Amino acid sequence: MLKVEKLVKHYPLGGGIFNRDPLVVRAVEDVSFSVGAGETLCIVGESGCGKSTVARLLMRLVDPTNGRVLLEGTDIASLKKNELRNWRRRMQMVFQDPYSSLNPRLTAAQIITEPVENFERLGHRKRQALAAELLQKVGLAPEIMHRLPSELSGGQRQRLAIARALSLKPSIIIADEAVSALDVSVQAQILNLLMDLQEQTGIAFVFISHDLGVVEHIGHRVAVMYLGRIVELAPCEALFTKPVHPYTEALIAAAPVPDPTRVRLEAPVEGEVPSPINPPSGCAFHPRCPFAVERCRTTVPPSVPMADGRVVACHVRAPSAEFPGRQEMAGSAQLASVAGPHGSVL
């Protein structure tokens, strides 16, 4: 349904010596993925790795430097202004902080019916009926419709933001850190609400989070980003039980383990995320990677599809046919995918 092809977003900052070599933030580099109807694709990664920029590109809130976003086969860059408006009905966004994304002067009823009223005028009775229906969908009492956002709890506000996003019956919702600001118990309620809505309506989600526990709960597939690139994209269970990319492995190792029966992986990632203004050469993870070989310093690893349906960008764990030395490395990929990532594969 949604397809992203080789998406790139660079933000020029100006500067450099005599402006000859302007500084550029490489926020998103060569990102490709697809999302099917009724599917939840999660995007995870440390702060600044480009997750929100991907969301903004999907919504065409910013234009890509390169690459394409296709919704049901249509390249959104080719849409004219009025077509884009109609297209936006099918794709909606929910943000981390509903308090700043909801108009503080409007009542809950006005907030959730506003998107529909941008397309057609509703009379008072129709508006009340639609508001009551949407509130019920997200588990809020109809009495809430007369309240202002400041008169609601954080969880209620986020439900309201979801009701607003649902009002135009979109086929996909982009949720950027939509539960990150909430208490754990409220987080779980909102995640369950999203999963119920998906079951009832077949809606797709692109769910962005830095929290692996949340992702494991809600995701069907997970894309792990590092410095603007997807380093591993895998079905959720496969990713958590058998991460292949060294960065995924380290992220999972660093995350708290809610399930005491699950074996904790070793070697959490060390060191700081480098700057996207001057990222390391080759594989951007190489300064932090215990498995780095010489090629990692010089050549960006291509995304290689693996037998179990995942795609991994790593010279060592997923060697590609393009590079010499493939034969001996292919054995190591086998080892990584069959025996698990715990041992060194070098």
Ligand X SMILES: Nc1ncnc2c1ncn2[C@@H]1O[C@H](COP(=O)(O)OP(=O)(O)OP(=O)(O)O)[C@@H](O)[C@H]1O
Residue 320 touches which member of Mg ion, ligand X, ligand SF4, none, C-beta under 5-8 Å by kind: none
Q: Shortest gap between Cβ of 153 and ligand SF4 (angstroms)? A: 42
Starting from the edge strand earliest in sequence, which strands make up the sheet with 172-176, in order? 91-94, 172-176, 204-208, 40-44, 221-226, 229-235, 311-312, 304-305
Give bridge partners of residue 23 from the DSSP assignment. Answer: 14
Do residues 73 and 237 touch, judged by C-beta distance below 8 A?
no
For the four alpha carbons of 185, 191, 194 and 196, in that order, the dihedral sign comes to negative
* Residue (30 or 133) nearer to ligand SF4, CB: 30
Contact flag: residue 310 with ligand SF4 (CB under 6 A): no
Sort strands 221-226 and 40-44 into parallel, antiparallel or unpaired.
Answer: parallel
Residues sharing a CB contact under 8 Å with residue 176, sequence separation 6 or more, in sequence order: 51, 52, 55, 93, 94, 95, 96, 208
**Partner interacting with residue 296 (select from ligand SF4, ligand X, Mg ion, none; CB below 5-8 Å by kind):** ligand SF4
- Quickly tell me which residue has 């993925």 as its tokens: 33
Nearer to ligand X, 91 or 227 (CB): 227
Q: In whole angstroms, how close is the CB of 180 to ligand X at the nearest point?
A: 9
> CB within 8 A of 80, min separation 6: which ones?
none
Smallest distance from ligand SF4 to CB 135, Å: 47
Binding positions for ligand X, rule: CB under 6 A: 11, 25, 27, 45, 47-53, 210, 276
Question: Quick one: 40 or 52, whose CB is closer to Mg ion?
Answer: 52
Q: Provide the phi-psi class of 268: left if phi over 0, else alpha when psi is between -120 and 50, else beta.
A: beta
The pair of structure tokens assigned to 140 is 């809020």
Q: Which of 52, 158, 320, 337 binds Mg ion (CB under 5 A)?
A: 52
Q: Which of residues 208-267 bind ligand SF4 (CB under 6 A)?
A: 245-246
Question: CA 61, 207, 193: angle at the middle one, nearest 5?
Answer: 120
- Quote the CA–CA distance of 54 and 151 in Å, as a whole number: 33
Residue 52 or 303: which CB sits closer to Mg ion?
A: 52
Residue placing its CB nearer to ligand X in the complex, 138 or 230: 230
- With CB atoms as reference, the residue minimizing the distance to Mg ion is 52
- Chosen residue from 102, 252, 255, 316 binding ligand SF4 by CB under 6 A: 316
Q: From the CB of 314, what's the least distance to ligand SF4, in Å?
A: 3
Nearest distance in Å: CB 280, Mg ion: 22
DSSP code, position 4: E
User: Using CB distances below 5 to 8 A depending on partner kind, what does residue 217 bind out of ligand SF4, Mg ion, ligand X, none?
Assistant: none
User: 286 is in the binding site of which of Mg ion, ligand SF4, ligand X, none (Cβ under 5 to 8 A by kind)?
Assistant: ligand SF4
Please provide residue 253's backbone torsions phi and psi, each rounded to the nearest 5 degrees: -65, -35
Q: How far is the CB of 10 from ligand X (least distance, A)?
A: 9
The tokens for 253 are 């190792």
The gap between the terminal CA atoms of the chain, to the nearest Å, is: 39
Cβ 287 to ligand SF4 shortest distance, Å: 8
User: Is residue 9 within 8 Å of 53, Cβ to Cβ?
Assistant: yes
Residues 273-302 that bind ligand SF4 (CB under 6 A): 283, 285-286, 289, 291-292, 296, 301
Q: Which residue is listed with tokens 């009832």?
A: 200
Q: Which residues bind ligand SF4 (CB under 6 A)?
A: 245-246, 283, 285-286, 289, 291-292, 296, 301, 314-317
Q: Which residues bind Mg ion (CB under 5 A)?
A: 52
